[in-house]
Amino acid sequence: MKRLLIVICLLVVANVMMAKEYELSSPNGRISLKVNVDENCTYSVFLGDQQIIMASPIALELDNGEVWGKDARVRKAKVTSHSQELTPVVQRKYAKIQDDYNQLTLSFKGYSLEFRAYDEGAAYRWVSALKGEYKVKSEQASFVFPADHTTWFPEEESMFSHQEREYLKVNLSAIGSDRFCSTGMLVDCGNGVKTYISESDLMDYPGMFLKGDDQNQNALVGKFAGVVLEEKQLNDRNVKPTKYADYIAQCNGPRSFPWRALLITENDEALVQSELIYKLAPELKIQNTEWIKPGKVAWDWWNANNIYGVDFESGVNNDTYKYYIDFASKNKLEYVILDEGWYHLENIMDVVDEIDIQELVDYGKERNVGVILWVVWKALDDQLEKALDQFEAWGVKGIKIDFMQRDDQWMVNFYEKIARECAERELLVDYHGAYKPAGLERAYPNVITYEGVKGMENAKWSSLPDPEHNVTLPFTRMVAGAMDYTPGAMINTTKKNFREVFTQPMSSGTRCHQLAMYVVFESPLQMLCDNPSNYYREPECMKFLSVVPSVWDDTKVLQGKVGDYVAIARRSGDTWYIGAMTDWDARDLSLDLDFLGDGNYSMSVWKDGVNADKHAADFAQENQDVNSASKINIKMAPGGGWAAIIEKK
């Protein structure tokens, strides 16, 4: 009996000695983490004295039964500090990004855990030191909140998804394990504090969804697609997984896994200004980047090639696309897109008789306009090298690749394969039918934009997007990175008058709501979605659309509230641009121009007209002198907007 008691005491002592708590703070101390290693590994996150994330268990289970983070013994703990200035190849919010963080690395047998504390948030990831082949059976990623918070929940019905969702206001307790959403998603922690959850460095691994937890109604847990074992091609564009493995990733040798990222802000404006996802992304993987050129694009599909006032039949033909190229050239747009219809869908190498790609590329080159080709991912993959070599030979500038609608491990690797193969041929990539940005664009900056957003195309068949959705996106989807929303509608309606018209679509909200999107919405490849014939009828609006950049040197979020309104100032060179948007409520905002430098400036304004509440296309223009001491008052109609260009005198 005495021996048994001694053994029990020794086991208790051993367990106590094994249990460890580690702490990590951000450079300015704003964010702190506590990591506990015991029977389970948990982490907690604090904003000052406020606990944002309660002790949340994390683990990684391998197919051999080993569970990282369970009954683990830390071999070494190390804290390091990092500070560097990043220069994105393709600018986003800023020409330079300051990257400062402290890192805690916990080393175990065969793997390690890395935690980072930034002044704007926190992140963690698993790192494997294993050699040879192994499988990840599951990952436990959890985010336990201290109360039943409200979320903006981009609910999904299936993991076979374009991830073009509406952000539903849902309490954590109403989610449960049967409901799930794509990431990133936003949680309202009360008192103005918001927490945004997403991921970065998503490479060779499935993307993370989030579902509720039946064991804890205040928790969110990760959900991952298994490795696809079987799939069924339903038509030219939909290849649906029909059988998944009971593991989520196949691995070979040492590697890191994706970062689980938490952006924590005390005001909504800071969500828009963050570059946390980019900072966590993998470093540049290509050498020559000088050829990568952002810009604006004349787009054909949304307006159904429905040009008018011409002496030829409009449609998918060279005359129509020369008209688009001429329009782009006159308005200094860098690109045009040939969307669906230029090739026979069953064979990407079989161009329709009405199109001569080489002639269009040459015609565009003479006018400083590049050609981008839309492709279905499966048709491209079936003849990948042959097709990309042909695109390069034609002199095409990039591809818009569509309908992937998956983020299992194979498809995530396909994204990187396309980025790599296109970079070798100096081709840009625009991912449609896609998941959100998760770091690939830093490694391969020819990946210039993503869809993964319920954008303007939906107006052809849906009442969304509407102004409330539009002023939710900067604080949700756009936090992850560039989004190809495709703005620019010239037929604008009030909420009451909106109709779904597939071949002559319209937008809900005002004309200036659309113009402001070019400042508010980030996309280095920014579309002009409407009909060039309509744009020719709107020379006052083209004065703005012709000059507004698609990348920025600096960004200042002047005011904002998720789902209600946003006002952003962005600088390109010495010129500032302001875009403001509201939901279906008319709104007045007072904006300080204290971000301007010394001296006097001239401000050109596009604002909702006095009758924009009845006729949404009504707008007015004005000019005024301003300086850094100026305070301007702007008035927006329901669903309205406001845009300005500020140039130094």
User: Active-site positions?
Assistant: 402, 457
Residue 168 to residue 189: CA distance in whole angstroms: 16
Q: Which residues is 252 bridged to in the sheet?
A: 133
Contact 81, 99 (CB under 8 A): no
Contact 363, 323 (CB under 8 A): no
Residue 405 to residue 241: CA distance in whole angstroms: 11
- Count the neighbouring beta carbons within 10 Å of the beta carbon of residue 160: 17
- Which residues fall within 8 angstroms of residue 182, CB to CB, at 6 or more apart? 154, 156, 161, 163, 165, 207, 209, 435, 436, 452
Inter-CA distances, 626 with 30, 260, 556, 629, Å: 36, 44, 17, 8
Structure tokens at 178: 């049967």
E strand residue ranges, 109-144: 111-118, 121-128, 133-140, 142-144
Nearest to 143 by CA among 216, 35, 36: 216
Contact 553, 95 (CB under 8 A): yes
Name residue 500's amino acid. Answer: E
Residue 17 to residue 47: CA distance in whole angstroms: 29
DSSP 4-57: HHHHHHHHHHHHHHH-EEEEEE-TTSSEEEEEEESSBEEEEEEETTEEEEEEEE
Contact 415, 431 (CB under 8 A): yes
E strand residue ranges, 439-489: 447-450
